Amino acid sequence: MKAVIQRVTEASVTIDGKIVAEIGNGLLVLIGIEDADTQEDSAWLTAKIANLRIFGDENEVMNLSLKDTNGDIIVVSQFTLHAQTKKGNRPSYIKASKPDVAIPLYETFVKQMEMELGKPVQTGQFGADMKVRLLNDGPVTIVIDTKNKE
């Protein structure tokens, strides 16, 4: 699984002109799933994101996690994170999982995040044409690939 984690002061997802997710301070997380990803990858990534110390403490040092700040989160599926651009100018998405594999793991990830944080997680809609708006705070943007855990 690949994740792009962005610390935000606000973020929203709009589908067909309707806002389906909206938060203030917290994280916007884009998730890409490939066939080799497992439930263990999802659990590891969930804990990593929830506990990632990228929020400022009283001294403005990035020392607090999403759990510490009780911040909100939006999770958006994004197969383009697995784009391969080595050959030519048209990205290949062959490594990205098809919906029958990706949707159950995406839903598992969201449920695990809700359990980790102890509150609901907002989401986009898998496979939809989404408009994602955010105000990146810092900017702080972190990329994590579960294939590089060690």
Enumerate the active-site residues.
80
Say if residues 124 and 147 touch (Cβ distance below 8 Å): no
Non-local (6+) Cβ contacts of 117 within 8 A are 50, 66, 67, 73
Q: Which residue is listed with tokens 């497992």? A: 38
Say if residues 124 and 20 touch (Cβ distance below 8 Å): yes
Main-chain phi, psi angles of 82, to 5 degrees:
-100, 20
